[in-house]
Structure 1
Amino acid sequence: MCRAPARANLNNVKSERSLADAPRTETRRRDTRDALLDAALDGFSRDGFSGTSIRDLARSVGIRESSVYKHFPSKQAIFDALIDRADERLNEVAGTFSKAAGSDVAVRYEDIDEETLQTIARAIFDFVLHDSQFAKLRRLLVIEQYRDADVSARFHAYFVERPLDFQTELFETLLATGEFRENLSPEQTALAFFGPIHMLMQYAEQDEQRALHLLAGHVTHFRRTHLKEGR
C-alpha cells in the first residue's frame, strides 16, 4: 500500500518528461524533414528524379533508409513536397520584387538610362543563376519537365509567365515616364527586354562570361530601339 504513491509519482515524472521532450522531438523531426528536402533538391537537380534513390537521400542526411519513410511515404512524395516548398519560396521572392518596384517606380526611374536597364537585367540574371536554391530548382524543373505534366506547367509559370507578367507591369509604369518611344506596347516591350535574357540564362550554363557580354549588348540594343533619342 505504501509503494503505490511512489509508482504514481514516477509515472507523473515520466509524463512530465515526455511533455518536455515533445517540442525537441518535433524540432528534430522538422530538421530531418528539411534536411531530406535539401538533399533531394541537390540530388534531383544533379542526377534527376530517377537517378536519385531513397538510399542516396538517407546517406546524405545520415539516417537509415527505413527512417526516411517516417517523414515521407515515397520518393514521389518527397518530390511533391520539394515543389510545394519551391512555390512558397517563389511567392516570397515575387512579393519582394513587387514591393521593390512599388508605385514609386516611375519616380525612381524618371531619368531611366542604359545604366539603369543594365542593372535591372543583371539583377534578374544573377538571381536566377546564382541564388543557390533557385538555381537548383531551375535545373530540377528543366530535367523533370518532360516526365511530369505538372512540373512542366510549373516550369512555364516560374520562368515564362510570372517573369513576363512582372516585366509587363514594370514597363507599363516605365513607359509612363515619357523616356520611351511613343505607342509602345508594355507586353511587347517586356517581351523584347526579357526574351533574350531568358535565352541567355540557358547560354550561361555553358559560358557565363560570353552570356554576360551578350547580355550587356542586348541592353544597349534595347535602349537604342526603345528609348527616345538622347537617352
Structure 2
Amino acid sequence: MSSITSRRRPGRPSKAEAGDTKAALLDAALRLFAQNGYAGTSIRAIAREVGLSESVLYAHFDSKQAIYDAAMALAGPQAATVALDDAPEDPAAFVGSFAARVLAAWDTPQSRQVMSLVSRDGLIHDDALNEGIEDALARLAEVFAGWQSAGRIRTDLGGPDDLAYALLAPIAHARMLWLHGTATEEQRERARARITAHAALFATALSP
C-alpha cells in the first residue's frame, strides 16, 4: 500500500515553529513591557530580544497594540472567566475550584508581568482590562443567580451581582499586591494563603 508524505515548502515554518515564534515574541514583549512600560518598549526591542527581525515580528503581530491585546487575553482578567468552565456544580466546591484556578492562572511569570505592566503604566482603567473584569463578573453573577433561584445558597447576603463582586474583588486585590513581576516567594505565598482563606470563608457563608 502506497503512502503520500506531505512536505512543506523549503523555508516555510511549520505551524508548530510559527507557534513557538509567536509565543517567544509574546514572552519577550511581556518582559520588556514590565521592565520599561508599554510606551518605553519598541517593536525593534521586542524583535531583538529573541534575535529576530522586525519583519518576522510583523508576520505574527500587526502592531505593538496587537501584542498588548494578546498579552491581556493570555494573562489578564479573562482567566477568571476561563475558571468558570467545567466548574463543579456544588456551590462550596465551585468557590474553592474557582479561586484555585484563578490563582494558578495569575501566579505564572507572564501573568505577574502583566500585573507589573498594568501598575507601571497606570492601566487600571484600560478598556481591555475593564471589559475582562466586567465579563467575569457577569458570568459569575449568572451562576449565583441560578443557585439563589434554586434555593441552594443564601439570599440575604445580596443579589447575584453583589456576590460575584464579593468573591472576585479580594482575589484581584491579592493579585495586585502580591502577584506582580518582582514578587518574592514570600509575597506569592501570602497571596495564595489569603485567596485560599477567602474562598473557604466565602463558601461557608453561602450555605443556607
- Do they superpose with TM above 0.5? yes
For residues 126 and 156 of structure 1, the distance between their equivalents in structure 2, rounded to whole angstroms, comes to 21
Cα displacement string for residues 46-94 of structure 1 (whole angstroms, at most 9, x for unaligned residues): 331244345533432224xxx315644xxx9642121343466479967
Unaligned 5+ segments in structure 2 are 1-7
Instruction: Indicate the structure whose relative CO is greater, using CA pairs within 8 Å and at least 6 residues apart.
Output: 2
How far the C-alpha of 1:199 sits from its partner, in A, is: 0.9
Say if 1:128 and 1:177 are closer, same or farther in 2 by CA, change over 3 A.
farther
Equivalent residue, structure 2, for 1:217: 197
Q: Give the AA of the match of 2:207.
A: L
Q: TM-score normalised to the size of structure 2?
A: 0.68
Q: What SS does the corresponding residue of 1:215 show, helix, strand or coil? A: helix
Please tell me whether residue 187 in structure 1 is matched to residue 158 in structure 2.
Answer: no
For residues 196 and 27 of structure 1, the distance between their equivalents in structure 2, rounded to whole angstroms, comes to 38
For residues 196 and 127 of structure 2, the distance between their equivalents in structure 1, rounded to whole angstroms, comes to 30
CA contact (8 A) 1:145 1:155 kept: no
Q: Give the AA of the match of 1:210.
A: R
54, 62, 69: which one aligns with 2:51: 62
Unaligned 5+ segments in structure 1 are 1-18
Equivalent residue, structure 2, for 1:169: 142
The equivalences for 1:49-88 within 5 A come to: 49-63=38-52, 67-69=53-55, 71-72=57-58, 78-86=63-71
For residues 92 and 192 of structure 1, the distance between their equivalents in structure 2, rounded to whole angstroms, comes to 18
For residues 196 and 17 of structure 2, the distance between their equivalents in structure 1, rounded to whole angstroms, comes to 47
Q: TM-score normalised to the size of structure 1?
A: 0.63
How far the C-alpha of 1:95 sits from its partner, in A, is: 7.5
CA RMSD after TM alignment? 3.8
The equivalences for 1:22-61 within 5 A come to: 23-24=12-13, 35-61=24-50
Query: Among the aligned pairs, what percent are the same residue?
Result: 23
Q: What SS does the corresponding residue of 2:126 show, helix, strand or coil? A: helix
The equivalences for 1:13-162 within 5 A come to: 20-21=9-10, 23-24=12-13, 35-63=24-52, 67-69=53-55, 71-72=57-58, 78-86=63-71, 89=74, 97=83, 99-101=85-87, 108-109=89-90, 112-113=91-92, 116-130=94-108, 132-146=109-123, 152-158=126-132, 160-162=133-135
Q: What SS does the corresponding residue of 2:153 show, helix, strand or coil? A: coil
The structure in which a higher percent of residues are helix is 1
For residues 195 and 119 of structure 1, the distance between their equivalents in structure 2, rounded to whole angstroms, comes to 16
How far the C-alpha of 1:128 sits from its partner, in A, is: 1.9
CA contact (8 A) 1:40 1:78 kept: no
Higher Cα Rg: structure 1 or 2? 1
For residues 166 and 100 of structure 1, the distance between their equivalents in structure 2, rounded to whole angstroms, comes to 13
Cα displacement string for residues 13-39 of structure 1 (whole angstroms, at most 9, x for unaligned residues): xxxxxx944744999788656643432
